[in-house]
Amino acid sequence: MRHSLCILAILVSAGAMAQTPRDFLTRFEKEAAAPAVAERGGRFFDATHGNDWSCSTCHTTRPTQPGRHAKTDKTIAPLAPAANAERFTSPAKVDKWFRRNCNDVVGRECSAQEKADLLAWLLTLK
């Protein structure tokens, strides 16, 4: 029993550790069972998907720069990992913000392929 609790504690603490954007890209590609396509991610970022907003509405057409929330006017730190080392490092934050932002922009949760493509594109930005 004690051995099982130690293993569980190690797994829980490892899951809470920071990850890298590449770790998330690998995760989304595995979930999608297909490789990411960065160009498709760039198109996804700029598209309105039949709604009023695109990702670039708040994150700007240059996600290496700060953005502003379209409703609250709150400053948003750069989305591209090259410009913001904290982006795509926390599983809880990545899942929360993809869920929230995809619902705002696409009107549903994004697929694993869409997440992979978007992140692959963001990783190309310097």
pLDDT at residue number 62:
96
Q: List residues bridging with 75 in a β-sheet.
A: 68
Buried b (16+ CB within 10 A) or exposed e, 74-86: eebebbbbebbee
Kindly state the DSSP code that residue 43 receives in the 8-state scheme: H
How far apart CA 38 and CA 115 sit, in angstroms, is: 10
Whether residue 111 lies inside any domain: the answer is: yes
Whether residue 3 lies inside any domain: the answer is: no
Under-70 pLDDT residues of the chain: 1-17
Which uninterrupted H or E stretch holds 68? Answer: strand 67-68
Domain of 37, CATH number, reads: 1.10.760.10
Whether residue 12 lies inside any domain: the answer is: no
> Which residues span the domain enclosing 112?
17-124
Whether residue 8 lies inside any domain: the answer is: no
pLDDT at residue number 2:
56
Indicate the pairing of strand 67-68 with strand 75-76: antiparallel
pLDDT at residue number 18:
77
pLDDT at residue number 11:
47
pLDDT at residue number 12:
46
Whether residue 9 lies inside any domain: the answer is: no
pLDDT at residue number 53:
92
Buried b (16+ CB within 10 A) or exposed e, 38-49: bebbbebbeeeb
pLDDT at residue number 61:
95
